Amino acid sequence: GQQLNQSPQSMFIQEGEDVSMNCTSSSIFNTWLWYKQEPGEGPVLLIALYKAGELTSNGRLTAQFGITRKDSFLNISASIPSDVGIYFCAGGILTGGGNKLTFGTGTQLKVEL
């Protein structure tokens, strides 16, 4: 199945630093969503984007839906230890059966105290 290109694959940063990760695709999507997944758990929705160019924040998280509809980025400001986890982007295509998602390859974030 198709996967989106997500970078970086992993990041090891210090507490308090800002983090940026992005996702690119060769296909256009109607929606972009960002999730965080911790070991043994299902993904938890962080931010959902619906329009090209849209910039949305959720606390220390900010994400943007690229103008071309083929990319999206997620920024985390002032990282803290609990930000550790794997972050996935997902591009969505609205079908008769709902919002069908294609996931990125994931970015593993590790935060050093």
Partner 1 sequence: GAVVSQHPSRVICKSGTSVKIECRSLDFQATTMFWYRQFPKQSLMLMATSNEGSKATYEQGVEKDKFLINHASLTLSTLTVTSAHPEDSSFYICSASPEVSQKLFFGSGTQLSVL
Query: What does the chain come to in residues?
Result: 113
* Residue 40 within binding range of partner 1, rule CB under 8 A: yes
Please report how many Cα atoms fall inside a 13 Å half-sphere around the Cα of residue 100, on the Cβ side: 9
Residues 4-33 that bind partner 1 (CB under 8 A): 30-31, 33
Using CB under 8 A, which of the segments 18-26, 41-49, 58-66, 75-83 binds partner 1? Answer: 41-49
* Whole-angstrom distance, CA of residue 45 vs CA of residue 113: 25
* Residue 91 within binding range of partner 1, rule CB under 8 A: no
| Residue number with CB closer to partner 1 (17 or 58) | 58
Using CB under 8 A, which of the segments 13-21, 53-61, 62-70, 93-101 binds partner 1? Answer: 93-101
32 phi and psi, to 5 degrees? -125, 135
**13 contact partners, CB below 8 Å, separation of at least 6:** 19, 79, 109, 110, 111, 112
Residue choice 34, 65, 73, 88 for contact with partner 1 (CB under 8 A): 88
The residue whose two tokens read 């329009």 is 51
Given the rule CB under 8 A, which residues bind partner 1? 1, 3, 30-31, 33, 35, 40-45, 48, 50, 88, 90, 92, 94-95, 97-106
